[in-house]
Amino acid sequence: MVYLDHAATTEVRPEVIADVAAQLGALGNPSSLHAHGRSARRVVEESREHIADAVGATPHEVVFTAGGTESNNIAIKGLYWARHAEDPARTRILIGAVEHHAALDPARWMADHQGALCEELPVDARGRVEPDVLRAAIERDPASVALVSVMWANNEIGTLQPVRELAAVAAEYGVPFHTDAVQAIGVEEVDFAASGVGALTLSGHKLGGPVGTGALVVARGLAPTPVLHGGGQERDIRSGTLSAPLTRGLATAVRLAVEGREKHVAHLKELRDELEDRVRRVVPDVVVNGDLDRRLPGISHLSFPGCEGDALLMLLDARGVSCSTGSACSAGVAQPSHVLLATGAAPETALSSLRLSLGRTSTREDIDRLVEEIGPAVERARAAMAKRRR
């Protein structure tokens, strides 16, 4: 079996398994004041410190959540509600058109149910939101902008956004800037303080951490309205009993990912370049999508003219090769990728694409197997499509 879907989730690191397992047997609620509670609280706060150190934040700015989706919901809904409460004229949410649905859908929900105006920022053919585009959107009515949300790196095509420049534009107008950095941690140099962003999302299972763990890094001075209400944990931003084992596992995953970034990136780039070169030899008309100069090292998003991506996925799966047609959260839905459509790609191109994503445990043997299977799979997929069109 070959796994080429690390952008969806990747293997849990052995060190993380060991840390979580060691802590699972410990008794104590981190909110309790007795000795057992203080012991659990110590684990949580040490984990918070490790994550803050790894991403260039202060411990006070790290808010633990259940993952990327919850973090994005808190950032987008919470910042909107807080800013709108201060000034009812602030009704606009400016969000990148190629965001993960974990960010797009909360923004659209706010428009449908909370009176917000959700404006999707257009991207160029590479999938980038240019700073001038953001500036023009804000200047149409600066006083009405509640927040801006643009992801650090795209989960489908791998394009890296000019986050620092975008955050600087938003700062000129006093608008908080949120970025979904789920795909960026451990492969890009992510420094929260230096980036100028006000809120940043990260997720554990993309880094070799446990599924169901994540964090929202929130700058001092920002106070999103809570989405959950209860015990007032995590600066009253995210109520709920914290899991000491899971926070410890998340911290270990983040720390190891950041410490090993340079070696990891070199490994991914070498494999990705070989993958694309060898697939191109087998399928000469394959198209590589995204920003070929500024993209994640482990994502190769390919379009195969005359094929359906879903058919290719299933043909490869039958031969023991796992990949995806885009975000795992949209898997099984036969519709063009909103990411590719936003870049100007034709619907048939968007429907003919596969995302092949590499990870820490990927090998050259994985590439050998893919190259062995991709040619016959493309031939069968094209034959099937041609037959249906007759």
Average pLDDT for 112-135: 98
- Is the per-residue pLDDT at 277 higher than 90? yes
> How far is the C-alpha of 25 from the C-alpha of 21, rounded, in Å?
7
**Whether 313 and 356 share a structural domain:** yes
> How far is the C-alpha of 349 from the C-alpha of 368, rounded, in Å?
26
**Whether 292 and 365 share a structural domain:** yes
Lookup result for tokens 């394959």: 286
**Whether 105 and 120 share a structural domain:** yes
**CA-based angle 178:100:292, to the nearest 5?**
95
**Whether 232 and 372 share a structural domain:** no
Q: What is the mean pLDDT of the chain?
A: 96
Closest CA to 215 of 206, 204, 207, 223: 204
Average pLDDT for 267-291: 97
CB 231 within 8 A of CB 30: no
CATH number assigned to the domain comprising residue 77: 3.40.640.10
Give the model's confidence band at 331: pLDDT under 50 very low, under 70 low, under 90 confident, else very high: low
CB atoms near residue 189 (< 10 Å): 12
**Whether 319 and 242 share a structural domain:** no
CATH number assigned to the domain comprising residue 314: 3.90.1150.10
Considering 118, 307, 323, 329, which one is annotated as catalytic? 329
- Is the per-residue pLDDT at 122 higher than 90? yes
**Whether 226 and 277 share a structural domain:** no
> Which pLDDT value is given to residue 286?
97
**Whether 186 and 303 share a structural domain:** no
The residue range of the domain holding 334 is 2-9+261-389
323 is catalytic: no
Average pLDDT for 336-357: 94
Domain count, the chain: 2
Average pLDDT for 332-344: 85
β-strands 2-3, 321-322 pairing? parallel
Closest CA to 120 of 140, 148, 90, 143: 148
Strands (E), 42-135: 62-65, 92-96, 117-121
**Whether 351 and 333 share a structural domain:** yes
Average pLDDT for 47-53: 98
**Whether 204 and 265 share a structural domain:** no
